[in-house]
Amino acid sequence: MRRALLTLLLLLLLLLSAARRTDGTDGTDGTDSTGGSINSISSIGSIGSVPAPGARHRPLWPPLVPPSPGPWRGRRDEPPLSIDLTFHLLRHLLLLARAQSQRARADSNRRILDAVGR
C-alpha cells in the first residue's frame, strides 16, 4: 500500500514537471533540444533526472505570510485557567468524598455492632 502511494506520488510529480515544461513556464518553448514536442510520457525523464542549473521553478503553493499584528491586549486581571488546577481540585474533592464515605460506613458499622451486642 505504501509503495503504491509513493509510486503514485512520484508519477504525479513527474507529470506536473512535464506539464510545466510543456506550457513554457520553465523558460522553454515546449520543445526538447531536437525540436520535438515533450508532451509524451516517455520524454518525462528518468526518476533520477536533475533539473538544469539556473532553471526557474514555480512554487506549488503560495509563500507563507506572517499574520498581521493585531491590537495589543494587556494582561488579564484574573489568573489563567489551568486544566492541571481543575484536576487537582477534582482529586481533592474525590479524597474528601472518600473520607466522608469511610466515616459514614464506620459509624454505620459501629451502630450495627452495638445493636448486635458484640
Domain range summary for the chain, segments of one domain joined by +: 2-43, 81-118
Closest alpha carbon to 44 in 62, 27, 21: 21
Whether 11 and 28 have beta carbons less than 8 Å apart is answered as no
Asked if residue 41 lies in contact with residue 12, where contact means CB atoms within 8 angstroms, the answer is no
Check residue 93 and give its pLDDT.
Answer: 93
pLDDT tens by residue, 14-58: 777 777 766 555 455 545 455 544 444 444 444 555 556 666 667
The pTM of the whole model exceeds 0.85:
no
Cell output for 108: 454505620
